């Protein structure tokens, strides 16, 4: 509008300096044309140009929310974008940092959504670095290893979530990770373009990682049978049987959360499963119940609300294992666990449920199951968001018959084989 007024003023001045009538007529004609052009120009300025500016901002992806959660052992960072875009993540030292390069992005978080540094992330800077590129710099309070970096469309949403999981590590490992990155991609100049490949999960083709988690251990003995059998020993012996059968059965790498009689917190078990990039996590227990007549195996999957009272009480007692080990459940840890459970994808839940159905089917033909053997409750140890996880109560040590059975080699082999068969069937369609 302003430029139009100015040009009109200039035109009128010009007319006054023309000397003859003919010129004035011509100038009048010209002026009419200029006037029309000016109107068109004004219209362009008032209507079209703002639309263009609008279109330009609309072209850029918008990061509209984000969060940092965790502690000095593990930290999770995520950002939500309104569309798909290219994101590359890499390590940088002096000082130690994680760099995330992405398509030019408008960072537009709401008032209540501030990215507060915490855990392993001590500071965060973000903004445009060059034409078409934005960068996020995460300063680190300790050396880290990137456990996961992914950008995925959110389920049931039209937007995308970038997820970064960092675990604390030592300086030497950080330097190695940095060097590997440089070895593969030369100088820092082109790391930014190819950094994503650095993060590709190295997995042996066609092999599956199974994590077996014998419950309790060390100072935490778990349930005690009427004849004195300890849960921690029974589940450990049983896990070894499953491992043996499973390794002979198929393309499985079988890991155990504990290889000896030692205390492990629920968090450590969960972290172990995630760090091992487990394809399946099986926690093994043999607890006790007030109802001494209850016996038989039960398969549990994760749910916020328990399927029944018995399951609810059992999960409460299992979740207090950390207290037995002398640890206090810090508020921060609880928050992280809550976030994790919210992030548990419906895909993970579906897989866990499918595996639990296979277990029920195969165990049913070999051993005694409890009434309604497929149950669910909020077991802390099942909360890894990306790992299908189940908890098996082999039986209940409060029941004398179960106590005796669970220690017999014959029973252990039968049940172990049924579990191994279920695992095989679970992965069968994904085997080459």
- Give me the residues that bind Zn ion (CB under 5 A), please: 215, 222, 285, 287
Nearest CB to Zn ion, comparing residues 222 and 296: 222
Cα–Cα distance measured from residue 316 to residue 334, given in angstroms and rounded to the nearest whole number: 14
**Residue 306, number of CB atoms within 10 A of its CB:** 19
Nearer Cβ to Zn ion (29/316): 316
Nearest distance from C-beta of residue 283 to Zn ion, angstroms: 8
Which residues make Cβ contacts (< 8 Å) with residue 182, sequence separation at least 6? 188, 191
Closest approach, Cβ 285 to Zn ion, in A, equals 3
> Shortest approach of Zn ion to residue 81 CB, angstroms?
42
Residue nearest to Zn ion (CB): 285
Tell me whether residue 215 or residue 217 sits nearer to Zn ion (CB atom): 215
- Whichever of 279 and 287 has its CB closer to Zn ion, that residue is 287
Select 97 or 295, whichever has its Cβ closest to Zn ion: 295
Judged by beta carbon, residue 91 or residue 263, the one nearer Zn ion is 263
Q: What is the closest distance, in whole angstroms, from the C-beta atom of residue 287 to Zn ion in the complex?
A: 4
Residue 318: CB minimum distance to Zn ion, A: 5
CB of 216 to Zn ion, least distance (A): 6
From 215, 228, 231, select the one nearest 406 (Cα to Cα): 231
**CB of 240 closer than 8 Å to CB of 350:** no
Nearest of 113, 188, 174 to residue 141 by alpha carbon: 174
Query: Least separation, in Å, of the C-beta of 394 and Zn ion?
Result: 10
Q: How far is the CB of 286 from Zn ion (least distance, A)?
A: 7
Q: How far is the CB of 154 from Zn ion (least distance, A)?
A: 35
Q: Which is nearer to Zn ion, 177 or 266 (CB)?
A: 266
Count CB neighbours of 123 within 10 A.
Answer: 11
Residue closer to Zn ion (CB basis): 161 or 285: 285
How does strand 252-256 pair with strand 208-214?
parallel
Nearer to Zn ion, 215 or 388 (CB): 215
């Amino acid at each position: 509008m302003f430029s139009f007024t100015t040009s009109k003023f200039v035109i009128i001045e010009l007319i006054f300096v023309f000397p003859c009538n003919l010129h004035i007529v011509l100038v009048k004609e010209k002026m009419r044309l200029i006037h029309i052009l000016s109107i068109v120009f004004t219209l362009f300025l008032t209507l079209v140009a703002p639309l263009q500016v609008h279109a330009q901002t609309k072209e850029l992806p918008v990061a509209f929310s984000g969060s940092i959660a965790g502690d000095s052992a593990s930290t999770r960072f995520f950002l939500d974008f309104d569309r798909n875009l290219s994101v590359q993540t890499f390590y940088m030292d002096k000082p130690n940092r994680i760099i995330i390069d992405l398509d030019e992005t408008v960072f537009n978080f709401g008032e209540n959504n501030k990215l507060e540094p915490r855990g392993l992330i001590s500071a965060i800077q973000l903004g445009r670095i060059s034409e078409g590129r934005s960068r996020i710099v995460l300063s680190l309070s300790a050396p880290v290893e990137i456990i996961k970096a992914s950008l995925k469309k959110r389920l049931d949403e039209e937007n995308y979530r970038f997820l970064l999981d960092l675990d604390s590590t030592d300086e030497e490992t950080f330097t190695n990770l940095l060097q590997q990155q440089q070895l593969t991609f030369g100088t820092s100049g082109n790391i930014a373009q190819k950094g994503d490949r650095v993060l590709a999960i190295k997995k042996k083709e066609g092999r599956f990682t199974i994590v077996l988690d014998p419950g309790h251990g060390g100072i935490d003995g778990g349930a005690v049978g009427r004849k004195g059998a300890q849960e921690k020993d029974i589940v450990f012996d049983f896990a070894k049987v499953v491992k043996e059968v499973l390794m002979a059965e198929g393309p499985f790498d079988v890991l155990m959360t504990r290889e000896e009689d030692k205390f492990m917190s629920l968090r450590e078990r969960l972290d172990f499963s995630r760090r091992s990039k487990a394809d399946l996590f099986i926690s093994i227990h043999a607890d006790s119940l007030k109802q001494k007549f209850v016996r038989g195996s039960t398969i549990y999957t994760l749910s916020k609300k328990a399927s029944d009272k018995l399951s609810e009480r059992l999960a409460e007692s299992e979740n207090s294992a950390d207290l037995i080990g002398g640890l206090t459940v810090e508020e921060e840890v609880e928050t992280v666990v809550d976030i994790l459970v919210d992030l548990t994808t419906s895909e993970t839940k579906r897989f866990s449920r499918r595996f639990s159905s296979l277990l029920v089917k195969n165990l049913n033909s070999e051993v005694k199951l409890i009434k309604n053997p497929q149950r669910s409750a909020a077991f802390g140890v099942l909360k890894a968001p990306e790992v299908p996880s189940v908890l098996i109560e082999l039986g209940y040590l409060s029941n004398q018959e179960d106590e005796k059975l669970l220690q017999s080699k014959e029973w252990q082999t039968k049940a172990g084989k049924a579990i191994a068969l279920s695992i095989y069937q679970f992965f069968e369609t994904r085997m080459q």
